[in-house]
Structure 1
């Protein structure tokens, strides 16, 4: 049982209420990540801001989900892996083989997406120390220096949510349960 309160649009601190209402209106429910982040309205607002900025990157929807899933798997975030698996399959229309490979830490069937996932995993594991060969492999796969920095943005977004979920013990919403995932110990 978590020590943190799952906030609602009515119970949340005043500054978080409009954000939770907007999420509920858009999605039909409040994801538990948002309900937990609402305990610190600035954290919730930061997550929404990072997400909005990441959506503006040069990555297409599938590539964005590759970054977000690769980082979440690497960080062992059960909530985010489930949520982004649903988003990847149903909204971004990522191929099942791509989503399955990301979740299972196996090689992606698309070489370019594999390079993106590998670079993202290295970024997380090495805490950004990926200059040299890892960066050159990413660039050789057809990505740009701009996109290397955009990966950093996606990793920052997922670091915020993954760590918050670990701290708060966020449970997976029923809307994401079909993609439940357990981290490797």
Structure 2
């Protein structure tokens, strides 16, 4: 991978963030118990931070996928986008949501998941990510035949969109992995 130019973005805190980012950083710290580096970087552009934070909150409340399935999807897209920060973070979050370590390891290694339904989700997310939304009829049929409703295809678009924001932010800023996620460090494939 090519080394990027030294473009540095400050990791913002509640104290030094743009005014429009402060309430989200405050809410995030309250929710997570720490200042998340990725959100601190996104805070440099309040619209990016807002779109990600508010969108994710809305998705959580209005999801057709379970919390476990969403973590599978976040990991599958982050793997395809080679995002070391998000792979570490979502591996840790998936563990909190009791996703089996066997499934997490398979996602981190780019292998087939042992759970066939979750594997169909992972494969559909990967196809959506790598084909930039131009999935085939075969991709769609495998996903729907695994038991997912057609609305889940729209949710996958939403999840992949969120991962574009976070994965690309990590690529640009080389986000330091937060201490709570250090146990799940991941190297780019």
What residue is the counterpart of 1:69 in the other structure? 75
8 Å Cα contact 1:62/1:94 also seen in 2: yes
Moved more, 51-60 or 102-111: 51-60
What residue is the counterpart of 2:183 in the other structure? 178
8 Å Cα contact 1:2/1:169 also seen in 2: no
1:1-185 paired onto structure 2 within 5 Å: 3-55=8-60, 56-90=62-96, 92-184=97-189
Q: How many residues align?
A: 183
Give the superposition deviation at 1:81: 0.5
Runs of at least 5 residues in structure 1 that lack an aligned partner in the other structure = none
Find the aligned partners of 2:46 and 2:147 in 1 and give their Cα distance.
39
Give the superposition deviation at 1:144: 1.7
Find the aligned partners of 1:113 and 1:65 in 2 and give their Cα distance.
11
TM-score by length of 2: 0.94
TM-score by length of 1: 0.96
Give the superposition deviation at 1:2: 5.3
Q: Give the aligned CA root-mean-square deviation in angstroms.
A: 1.0
Residue deviations 1:23-65 (CA, integer Å, cap 9, x gap): 1122111111100000001110000122113212110111000
